[in-house]
Copies of this chain bind each other. A is one copy, B any other.
């Protein structure tokens, strides 16, 4: 029997950012760490894997590789608009990790521009209510036909 797989933007997104070292490299760029050696050191990724992941992220338009020195040529990685738009993803993943995986105090603390220590909630843009389990109903889902 031919089977069909659910078409899904989560799967699409994970094709770009779904590898462990991709999201950790992006975390470093959000920290302001832009150079290969420093990203490698701060994440603990192997150089080969990190180079591959960064190439994918540049290819997908999430990071841009910018030359900042001519002699010798040196490059740094900066977020594109699509990359900056990952802030909510990184934040929701981090806060979930703090609540359910990390033991003890959160290792990273950010201050929001309003002055408070950052804590977030994800809300419906229409009513402003926080997303809660059981508050969603599926309207439409599509399926990929077998190739």
Contacts and interface: CB of A to CB of B under 8 A. Distances in A.
User: How many copies of the shown chain assemble into the complex?
Assistant: 2
B9 A133 contact: no
Task: Please tell me the size bucket of the interface on A.
Answer: 35 or more
Contacts of A86: 96
Interface string A103-147: 000111111111011111111111111011101111111100000
Interface in A1-36: 3, 5-20, 23-24, 27-28, 31
Given A92-B122, A120-B122, A127-B116, A107 B20 contact: no
Given A92-B92, A127-B116, A109 B10 contact: no
A99 B116 contact: no
A23 B11 CA distance: 9
Interface of A: 3, 5-20, 23-24, 27-28, 31, 41-44, 60-62, 79, 82, 84-102, 106-114, 116-129, 131-133, 135-142
